[in-house]
Amino acid sequence: MEVIMKKIVWGFLILMVLAAGTAVAEDMDKGKEDLRMAAHFNAFGILSGSYVANFEYLVLPWLGPMVEAGFYAKDGNTGFTGSFHARFHMGKGLNKVFIAPFIRYQNMGGAVTENSVNYDFRANVWTFGANVGKRWIIGPGFSIAVRAGWGPSIVSTSYDGAEPVNKELVDDLLGIFAGLDGELSIGWSF
């Protein structure tokens, strides 16, 4: 599964580079406030087994719906995520500070250790939150985005076999940390 996801992510990145290359000529004549789309990926996450990409399109000069998808696999822990954000930019264009309510679904799996016993689990998590961030557009369209946020989560956990004694505590902690939202990505705005 991890090999397939890596191929999908690399395919997406190659398509993004090709699309950006064809848009460069058009972007040379546009001001930063005229750019309406952005495709980004978390280049640093690849080092830790996390593959996340997102796409934003301005439907109004100050409003950009953004969709994001991700997959991770490391040390026996696996998961995927999908989210929708409604970014409200503080001014015209993508090159601005933004605030965004978001909804995210995560499916994750791994192991919890309690009293030297490992408990394998699978969790479905829905998060409803908000974030704040900024995109910097450099040159004809290369861009860097950063965001941070949080929201409360609804967690549904299932365990393979026995459950840990402190299942409620594990679920509560999972809900708190699963509610974190962040981005440090690079991409292209066109």
Q: CB–CB of 129/152 below 8 Å? A: yes
> Rounded to an integer, what distance in angstroms lies between the CA atom of residue 20 and that of residue 38?
10
Number of structural domains found in the chain: 1
Candidates 33, 81, 88; CA nearest to 65 is 88
What's the confidence (pLDDT) of residue 29?
42
Half-sphere exposure at residue 81, Cβ-oriented, CA atoms within 13 angstroms: 28
**Whether pLDDT at 26 is above 70:** no
Please answer whether residues 179 and 152 qualify as being in contact, where contact means their C-beta atoms are separated by less than 8 angstroms.
yes
Residue 39: domain span: 2-189
Per-residue pLDDT tens digits for 135-172: 999 987 899 999 999 999 999 999 887 887 778 887 88
- Contact call for residues 174 and 125 (beta carbons, < 8 A): yes
Token look-up 């822990």 returns 77
Of 49 and 147, the one with more pLDDT: 147
Total Cβ atoms within 10 A of residue 28: 10
Stated as kind and residue range, the H or E segment containing 34 is none
Closest CA to 62 of 39, 80, 79, 87: 87
CA atoms within 13 A on the CB side of 1: 10
Is residue 28 very low, low, confident or very high in pLDDT (cuts 50, 70, 90)?
A: very low
Q: Indicate the average pLDDT of the chain.
A: 86
At 82, which CATH number? 2.40.160.20
As given in the structure block, the two tokens for residue 97 are 């500070």
